[in-house]
Amino acid sequence: MLHLRLLTPSGRTDDVVRLIERTVGTTHLVVLPGAAREPAGDVVMCDVAREAGDELLTGLKELGIDHSGSIAVDGVGLTLSRRADRAEREAPGEGADAVLWEHLVEETHEESTLSFTYLAFITLATMIAACGVVLDNAVLIVGAMAVGPEFGPLAGISTAVVRRQHRLAARSLVALLVGFAVAMAVTVGFSLFMDAVGLFSESRLQGERPATGFVYAPDAFSLVVAVLAGIAGTLSLTSAKSGLLIGVAISVTTVPAAANAAVALSYGDTGQTWGSTEQLLLNLLGIIVAGTLTLLAQKWFWARQRARTATKANRG
């Protein structure tokens, strides 16, 4: 269940209440006339099944409550109520599968912001991966994948395409390109330093690397894995199972490929540099395409679900 707290102008409260009452999957409606001070108006609260949340939020935005008042949404961890159980049964689909588009846009907006923290994480992840490729250490590669924050901008691009939000697309693309450019540039300097102190060597990079050689050798499986990871990552963001995203992060060769390209560039190895760059671009493209198609499929599915619910309500 989701809990909504609305601050509404007094003249729009009746419209808001009617919208809530006719939305399938809502319950626990509370109206506090005149309780709001800034902005002045009424306070309206209700609970709604997660699978009906997007429809209600869309209706509230059409009423202009996001401009004239306020819409706050919180997840409810536990609700002991027969009315809540009934609301969840009446709502279309399953709560774990529901897409809250406003929440997705907000989350990807935050994750795709080019901030110092974002740059720090992607740079540290690339430096860790650099150590992994030189030492041929799969544990370090996995660790670098988990640290890398690049899935946020990738999801932001997919969301922006589906929702037609040009600013989110531009913000995500800038974060992705600038982030990898800064991370790779710093890693080139880091590699030169490590070579100068005797910890990195060109012979290690060009030697047999059975555990990490795949990062500069893209093939058909690279695209397949990227597509599968893009689907899984998008589903984890849009569903109630966002904890699965860490598994997606350690399944695609983005940060390790960028790290290998940077280390190879520091030694003038153009073969590994280009191979790693191709691996990186292939993975990024696969994730974006798969994420976009997944969101389009979810949008179509939930539109059909809402249409079926409306038809049943009209028949009833």
In this structure, what CATH number is given to the domain that contains residue 29? 3.30.70
Region 285-292: what's the mean pLDDT?
93
Count of alpha carbons within 13 Å of 95, Cβ hemisphere only?
17
Give the pair of three-digit tokens for residue 90: 């009446």
pLDDT of residue 237: 81
Residue 309 has pLDDT above 70, yes or no: no
DSSP symbol at 68 = H
| Statement to judge: residues 43 and 124 lie in one domain | no
Among residues 103, 87, 91, the alpha carbon closest in space to that of 29 is found at: 87
Give the pair of three-digit tokens for residue 309: 């619910």
pLDDT of residue 293: 95
| Statement to judge: residues 159 and 287 lie in one domain | yes
Q: How far apart are CA 182 and CA 10, in angstroms?
A: 51
The domain total for the chain is 2
Residue 314: inside a domain: no
Residue 142: inside a domain: yes
More confident site: 104 or 278: 278
| Statement to judge: residues 93 and 114 lie in one domain | no
Among the listed ranges 138-142, 158-162, 239-243, which one has the minimum average pLDDT value? 239-243
| Statement to judge: residues 24 and 121 lie in one domain | no
Q: How far apart are CA 224 and CA 158, in angstroms?
A: 18
Domain boundary among 75, 98, 121: 98
What is the SS3 assignment for 45?
strand
Domain boundary among 98, 124, 153: 98
| Statement to judge: residues 72 and 160 lie in one domain | no
Q: Phi/psi zone of residue 71: left (φ > 0), alpha (ψ -120 to 50 degrees), beta?
A: beta
| Statement to judge: residues 156 and 239 lie in one domain | yes
Residue 124: inside a domain: yes
Residues 6 or more apart whose CB falls under 8 angstroms from that of 310 comprise: none
Q: How far apart are CA 240 and CA 305, in angstroms?
A: 18
Domain boundary among 39, 72, 98: 98
- Return the H-helix or E-strand segment holding 46: strand 40-48
Residue 130: inside a domain: yes
Q: Give per-residue burial for 152-181: e unless 16+ CB within 10 Å, then b.
A: bbbbbbbbbbbbebeebbebbeebbeebbe
Strand-pairing partners, residue 43, are: 7, 32
Region 89-116: what's the mean pLDDT?
80
* Domain membership of residue 129 as a residue range: 103-302
| Statement to judge: residues 87 and 125 lie in one domain | no
Residue 1: alpha-carbon gap to chain centroid: 21
| Stated pTM of the model | 0.81
Residue 308: inside a domain: no
- Return the H-helix or E-strand segment holding 48: strand 40-48
pLDDT class of 291 with cuts at 50, 70, 90: very high
Q: How far apart are CA 90 and CA 21, in angstroms?
A: 13
Write down the mean pLDDT value for the chain.
89
| Statement to judge: residues 128 and 265 lie in one domain | yes
pLDDT of residue 284: 93
| Statement to judge: residues 111 and 213 lie in one domain | yes
| Statement to judge: residues 173 and 59 lie in one domain | no
Q: How far apart are CA 199 and CA 151, in angstroms?
A: 31
Residue 313: inside a domain: no
Give the amino acid at 200.
Answer: F
Residue 307: inside a domain: no
| Statement to judge: residues 134 and 68 lie in one domain | no
Among the listed ranges 48-52, 78-82, 303-307, which one has the minimum average pLDDT value? 303-307
| Statement to judge: residues 122 and 83 lie in one domain | no
**Rg (alpha carbons) of the chain, rounded to whole number:** 24
Residue 63 has pLDDT above 90, yes or no: yes
Q: How many Cβ atoms from other residues are within 10 Å of residue 194's Cβ?
A: 19
Residues 6 or more apart whose CB falls under 8 angstroms from that of 89 comprise: none
